[in-house]
Structures are given as structure tokens and as C-alpha cells.
Amino acid sequence: MEIEFGSVAIACGMIISLGALGACIGISLMGGKYLEASARQPELMNELQVKMFILAGLIDAAFIIGTGISVWFAISTFLK
């Protein structure tokens, strides 16, 4: 079975780019909602900030995991 390296490169690029796009959209929406909530209730700003940073880490973790899987997929394909 012959492996097409071009399609593997395109798939890896799509995994990384779509993951980055999703992470950017998710963090921007979350940041906007944080600003709205802190403007409405400034006394909750510290509690909301902690939760926002935890969620930002989780959103970025999904992108980093996708990048790791893509790199693993590319390396395992090119070493065959």
C-alpha cells in the first residue's frame, strides 16, 4: 500500500488550522462574555476571572492535543 504524503500534509495542516480557529473563536467569545458579566456585576470580577482562565486553559488544551496528534500522525506516516 502506497502512502500519499501530500494528503497527509494537508490533513495535518487542516487539523492544526481548524483547531487554532476554534480555539480563537472560543476564547474571544468567552472573553466578551467575561467583560459583559464583570461590567454588570463588578463585585464578582475576581471569581469570574479565575473561572475564565481555567476555561481558557481547557480550550487551549484541546488545540494543543490536536497539534500533538497531528505531529504524531505526520511522523508515523513519514517514517514508514
Active site positions, annotated: 60
Q: Give ∠ CA 71-56-18 in degrees, rounded to 5.
A: 40
Residue 19: how many other CB atoms lie within 10 Å: 19
Cα 28 to Cα 12: distance, rounded to the nearest angstrom: 24
